[in-house]
Chain A
Amino acid sequence: QVQLVESGGGLVKPEGSLRLSCAASGFTFSDYYMSWIRQAPGKGLEWVSYISSSGSTIYYADSVKGRFTISRDNAKNSLYLQMNSLRAEDTAVYSCARIVSGWDYYFDYWGQGTLVTVSS
């Protein structure tokens, strides 16, 4: 069965950096676009970034552009999010999600997420 397990969250000071990982299993990782989505405490879902199956196409939300970098290692079935210049407003649970793409575009599987807290 499809499994997505995030790791790497924690407490970081403003302007600090953190690298999140998402380990995928149960499907051919290299066939799928992948995404990061975050949810601030008590708030709604916010799309952060997505990457194509080969890694050649990448998009970011305006709120993280220039500060976050998404990447993937298909040999390791892993997705990453490098987060730099972190701000208090980046505090959220970060989840990875598999994207069905091509004729459709939606998220069919989600991980449970990893909490990132930005605070001094």
Chain B
Amino acid sequence: QSALTQPRSVSGSPGQSVTISCTGTSSDVGGYNYVSWYQQHPGKAPKLMIYDVSKRPSGVPDRFSGSKSGNTASLTISGLQAEDEADYYCCSYAGIFLFGGGTKLTVL
């Protein structure tokens, strides 16, 4: 049960796009389309942003998109806004759940 690998931090200017990667193995990320992404602001509960690799819950802006290639899933945020600054976590389900270590997004 090893955690999925995410970059510790990414940054971008308002209006730009950033991509956060999430690398696992063929037994988790690569083997199933059960990758989800969560946004967490300081002191707040995580919020679901993407599920099933690329599906957006209602209410999540279409600036947020997800994809997967092999054992690596990605979250792309386009048209960065100040309120996007937060920690982002990927999660994979393969009988059990595995989280990534989290990525801190800084909007410059």
Contacts and interface: CB of A to CB of B under 8 A. Distances in A.
Nearest to B100: A44
Given A105-B34, A107-B36, A46 B45 contact: no
Interface string B68-106: 000000000000000000010101010111111110000
Interface of B: 1, 3, 34, 36, 38, 40, 45-48, 51-52, 57, 87, 89, 91, 93, 95-102
- 6 A-B pairs with least C-beta separation: A105-B93, A106-B36, A44-B102, A47-B97, A110-B45, A106-B51
28 contacts: A35-B97, A37-B99, A44-B89, A44-B99, A44-B100, A45-B40, A45-B89, A45-B91, A45-B99, A47-B91, A47-B96, A47-B98, A47-B99, A50-B96, A59-B95, A62-B1, A63-B1, A95-B45, A104-B34, A104-B52, A105-B97, A106-B48, A106-B91, A107-B36, A107-B38, A108-B51, A108-B57, A112-B45
